[in-house]
Amino acid sequence: GEDVEQSLFLSVREGDSSVINCTYTDSSSTYLYWYKQEPGAGLQLLTYIFSNMDMKQDQRLTVLLNKKDKHLSLRIADTQTGDSAIYFCAESSGTYKYIFGTGTRLKVLA
């Protein structure tokens, strides 16, 4: 079946850039999403990218998509302690079914 993989943990220092990576297997993926989950909270949509795009930038967030390698990354510039959370990658082939990764726990050290 389709799968989305992420590394489990990432630790960075405040002010540095964070890069969270994701790989997926579905070659028919149309939309790729990044969600953020803070402790005790729901999933907050951060950004998404269409599969016909290579890059999308939104303030401190930059999403890069390598469709050939089925690799998606989320770069957070100037990482702050408030960015500490679990980040989920998800893909959809344009239907209601999202395939979520296991989530990457980002810890920002002051």
Partner 1 sequence: DAGVIQSPRHEVTEMGQEVTLRCKPISGHNSLFWYRQTMMRGLELLIYFNNNVPIDDSGMPEDRFSAKMPNASFSTLKIQPSEPRDSAVYFCASSSSGRETQYFGPGTRLLVL
Judging by beta carbons within 10 Å of its beta carbon (0-12, 13-18, 19+), is residue 24 exposed, middle or buried? buried
* Planar angle of CA 30, 36, 38, nearest 5 degrees: 160
Tell me how far, at minimum, the Cβ of 102 lies from partner 1, in Å.
5
Q: For partner 1, which residue of 13, 71, 97, 107 counts as binding (CB under 8 A)? A: 97
Residues in contact with 52: Cβ distance below 8 Å, sequence separation at least 6, in sequence order: none
CB of 69 to partner 1, least distance (A): 23
Q: Does 45 bind partner 1 (CB under 8 A)?
A: yes
> Of residues 1, 39, 42, 82, which one binds partner 1 by CB under 8 A?
42
User: Interface mask (CB under 8 A) for partner 1, residues 2-41, using x and -?
Assistant: -----------------------------x-x-x----xx
Which residue from 39, 51, 46, 64 is spatially nearest to 94, judged by alpha carbons? Answer: 51
Helix or strand holding residue 11 (H, E): strand 9-13
Interface with partner 1 by CB under 8 A: which residues? 31, 33, 35, 40-45, 48, 88, 92, 94-98, 100-103
